[in-house]
Amino acid sequence: MNTAKYIEIQGVEQTFKTPKGSFPALRGISLTVAQGEFVALIGHSGCGKSTLLNLIAGLAAPTQGTLICANREIKGPGPERAVVFQNHSLLPWLTCFENVYLAVERVFGASSRVTGVPAENKAQLRARTDAALALVGLSAAAQKRPGEISGGMKQRVGIARALSMEPQVLLMDEPFGALDALTRAKLQDELLAIVAKTRSTVVMVTHDVDEAVLLSDRIVMLTNGPAATIGEILAVDLPRPRSRVALAEDTRYLHCRKAVIDFLYTRQAHVEKAAA
């Protein structure tokens, strides 16, 4: 397997059918992501970041082009690609433990459709669930329901659920977008530590320039839609492990930050249409 081209996106286009006709969302998207790489997708609202992430997740098929993961064409969702959404999408009637267990059961349990892999027993599935909750610091809240925990904790459950599947690829769509700044910073730090441990390949959609620079190896900047494409790719050449406090005064950090801000607010300045 070519680990430098773990995810390969080749000439991808996505056009949506709408009541007003067809809408070209993405055009000419080609990108490779190496195994273990952390890539952020950034761009103005509505440019097509989620559309691209959904294509990698296999939740939609492109109008043109191909997407490949681990040498196999992406033709639908797969357990090797776990998705974390902004709204955590937990089942409210289940406890945190049960929400994670459900995903673990589906991937490793008797209903697992991965052929040739023996199903794990309940004790093994429980151990996996406990380990995933421990990884995000939620062991104590395992028996609580989503309605009884904070937004940051809910998001942690969503991340635990994704990690519990031991995915090769973690796809995150603004996972911290709905959180306050302090909780967000804490979860970013936790994510850095978790990814350093699991060595997952990550593709993350974000609006947040600092988040993109702090977490990523490369930042993929999308142009404004319609027909959005990749405008620029910035390599974030900062050593790991990264500390947000130390980076705040690091000139390399400031340079990366400026490059993204320049792209977003100078070259891709959003032209607000005057109200008719």
CB contact at 8 A, 256 and 263: no
Min separation Cβ 30 and ligand ATP, Å: 18
Residue from 47, 56, 82, 221 that binds ligand ATP (CB under 6 A)? 47
To ligand ATP, the closest distance from the beta carbon of 162 in angstroms equals 19
Least distance to ligand ATP from the beta carbon of 57, Å? 12
Does 49 participate in binding ligand ATP (rule CB under 6 A)? yes
Q: Which two tokens stand for residue 171?
A: 């796809």
Site for ligand ATP (CB under 6 A): which residue of 10, 13, 46, 151?
A: 46
Angle among Cα 233, 252, 214 to the nearest 5 degrees reads 65
Burial of 177 (0-12, 13-18, 19+ CB in 10 A): middle
- Tell me the closest approach of the beta carbon of residue 132 to ligand ATP, in angstroms: 27
Q: What is the 3-state secondary structure (H, E, C) of 12-72?
A: EEEEEEECCEEEEEEEEEEEEECCCCEEEEECCCCCCHHHHHHHHHCCCCCCEEEEEECCE
Site for ligand ATP in 202-231 (CB under 6 A): 225
Of 7, 9, 25, 194, the one binding ligand ATP (CB under 6 A) is 25
The answer to whether residues 57 and 162 touch, using CB atoms and an 8 Å cutoff, is no
Stretch binding ligand ATP (CB under 6 A), from 49-57, 75-83, 130-138, 212-220: 49-57
Does residue 48 bind ligand ATP (CB under 6 A)? yes
51 binds ligand ATP (CB under 6 A): yes
Distance CA 157, CA 221 (A): 29
At 42, phi and psi to the nearest 5? -130, 150
Residue 45 found at the interface with ligand ATP (CB under 6 A): yes
Site residues for ligand ATP per CB under 6 A: 16, 18, 23, 25, 43, 45-51, 225
